[in-house]
Amino acid sequence: MRKLAVTEFMTLDGVVEDPGGAEGFEHGGWSFKFQDPEGMRFKLDELMAADVQLLGRVTYEAFAAAWPKMRDDAGFAEKMNGMEKYVVSSTLTEATWQNSEVVHPNDLAAKVAELKAGGDGDILVAGSATLVRALAALDLIDEYRLMVFPIALGAGKRLFDGIETPVTLRLASAEPLASGTQILTYASVRD
């Protein structure tokens, strides 16, 4: 059975959005100021272990605008473009990025159950804070993988803003990087 893993770039004060939006993604935002080979290896390994991406509309649109134009030697871009992608949206009617499909929010729980039963590789949720909150409310997240960067922004969208039910987590691993970034992996604790 597949595991659903949330993967986020996060500031010390919990901000997960890049104020530059899609342009910030393409041209480097606050997270790109802290480059660590170990962090890049973690992200590559994480992606290569996944078969599916589940994305919110805003993240999907930023990724779909950027990734088809990217090339790299490590195979990151090839994997991103080739893997199955599901965008959860009540406003999109079609998904144009290769191997993408739109899922209505009303169908989220059923789609996640279908995806979890459908293979072995992880289901990744990158960015997509609104989607993460919806998944957390449905208790569908198995793991949170947070790259916490040594910067505080003071403003911006935070991962757990507005949650209605507490999210209880157990630290599974912590890896400090040379830049001061921490890779923290938390498993969801279910009662």
Does position 35 have pLDDT exceeding 50, yes or no? yes
Of 59-63, 73-77, 141-145, 181-185, the one with minimum mean pLDDT is 73-77
Could you please state the CATH topology (level 3) that the domain comprising 4-188 is classified under: Dihydrofolate Reductase, subunit A (3.40.430)
* pLDDT tens, residue by residue, 99-129: 999 999 999 999 999 999 988 899 999 988 8
pLDDT at 72: 82
pLDDT at 19: 54
* pLDDT tens, residue by residue, 148-166: 999 988 888 888 888 888 8
Q: Where are the domains of the chain?
A: 4-188
Stated pTM of the model: 0.90
pLDDT at 24: 41
pLDDT at 18: 67
pLDDT at 157: 86
Of 4-18, 40-54, 85-99, the one with minimum mean pLDDT is 4-18
* pLDDT tens, residue by residue, 61-107: 989 998 999 888 788 899 999 999 999 999 999 999 999 999 999 99
- Which residue pairs, CB below 8 angstroms and at least 24 apart, start in 40-46? 42/147, 42/175, 42/183, 43/7, 43/76, 43/147, 44/74, 44/75, 44/76, 46/5, 46/7, 46/122, 46/124, 46/145
Mean pLDDT of the chain: 89
